[in-house]
Amino acid sequence: MSDTPSNAFRREGWELRPRSYIRYKLFNSLFLGLSVGTIFVIYKPLDPSIYSLGGIALALAMLAIAQLYGRIMTLPWFFRISLLVELVVLVMVLIFLAKPYTWTTALLVYAGYQVTFSFGSYLVRAETLALEDDELLRRVDTAKQIGYLIGMAASWLTYKVLEHYGISTPEAKVYQLHWLLLATELVIIYFLIRSFRRVTSNK
């Protein structure tokens, strides 16, 4: 192993747009707050042994991704992988809305979340290197916490409104909440795409 420091993060002609990125992280955390508790209802058909296999697969995937850091620790790859993760989440929401509460749907949703989690360490490290500025990091982390709190409050309020209109079973409430999750995920993808752009040089 060489003691010579390497360029840990490369922009490769791309730039990150802070204002859109902060909004992206706000809605991303809002989605997380909204979805708290839903997986316990969705995963009911799964055997507990699935979680053990999923944990092993997750660890192996994270190990493999770590070996690729030399190639993917760039701003273009940060965007591509972030978009991949959000598209996986979008597909999971659509699958659940199309065929809720089947064993296959539960397995696909679980597998989808494992895919997104496998990129977790990479995304955290890439984000820190991409943002660079302490003030920008503070604003992003603040947006994350605000989004998460709003999401949890909105989730609670949604469940109470549904109960008021006679929708009382956990399965029915979680299904209805997924329409709100779908709308939120589309907003997330919109702001994510706006957060990155190629820098065109005028010569």
| Residue 22 within a domain | no
The answer on pLDDT for 4 being more than 70 is no
| Residue 157 within a domain | yes
What share of the chain has pLDDT > 70, as a percent? 95
| Residue 16 within a domain | no
The answer on pLDDT for 1 being more than 70 is no
CB 136 within 8 A of CB 15: no
The answer on pLDDT for 5 being more than 50 is no
The answer on pLDDT for 6 being more than 60 is no
pLDDT at 137: 96
Q: Which domain holds residue 189?
A: 32-194
Nearest to 7 by CA among 74, 79, 63: 74
Count of the separate structural domains present in the chain = 1
102-139 pLDDT, tens digit each: 999 999 999 999 999 999 999 999 999 999 889 999 99
pLDDT at 7: 61
The answer on pLDDT for 199 being more than 90 is no
| Residue 1 within a domain | no
139-190 pLDDT, tens digit each: 999 999 999 999 999 999 999 999 999 999 999 999 999 999 999 999 999 9
The answer on pLDDT for 2 being more than 50 is no
| Residue 23 within a domain | no
Confidence of residue 3 (pLDDT cuts 50, 70, 90): very low
175: which 2 tokens?
């299904």
Residue 4 φ then ψ, to 5°: -75, 125
Q: What is d(CA 109, CA 91) in angstroms, rounded to the nearest whole number?
A: 9
| Residue 15 within a domain | no
| Residue 180 within a domain | yes
75-82 average pLDDT score: 98
31-52 average pLDDT score: 94
pLDDT at 8: 77
Cα angle 129-198-184, degrees, rounded to a multiple of 5? 75
| Residue 6 within a domain | no
108-123 burial code (b ≥16 CB/10 A, e <16): bbbebbbbeebbeebe
Half-sphere exposure of 119 (CA within 13 A, CB side): 21
